[in-house]
Amino acid sequence: MASIQSYQGYAVQATAHRLPDRTFSANVSVDRTSKRSSESQYTFYSLGYFSKEVEAVAYAYRWAKDWIDTRG
């Protein structure tokens, strides 16, 4: 369950990784769509742990949007 969403000039792809204890780790990749900056791609792992995959993905999208809003 992964799709790419555009937000404020970034492509955001949230994913969930199933762990041995049957929980899901929330992960996200953020890629600046305009390459004005030398640092344009970021990946964050294990942002939180959830019992449902959909919850992990939703959290990762929210986290990325907050990160983008505070970073610019």
Q: How confident is the model at residue 38 (pLDDT cuts 50, 70, 90)?
A: low
Is pLDDT of 30 > 70?
yes
Q: What is the pTM of this model?
A: 0.89
Helix, strand or coil for residue 6?
A: strand
Mean pLDDT of the chain: 92
Cβ–Cβ under 8 Å, residues 34 and 50 = no
Cβ–Cβ under 8 Å, residues 13 and 2 = yes
Distance of CA 57 to the CA centre of its chain: 8
Type of residue found at 28: V
Cβ–Cβ under 8 Å, residues 48 and 21 = no
pLDDT in tens, 41-66: 999 999 999 999 999 999 999 999 99
- Residue 11: its pLDDT value, please? 96
Type of residue found at 52: K
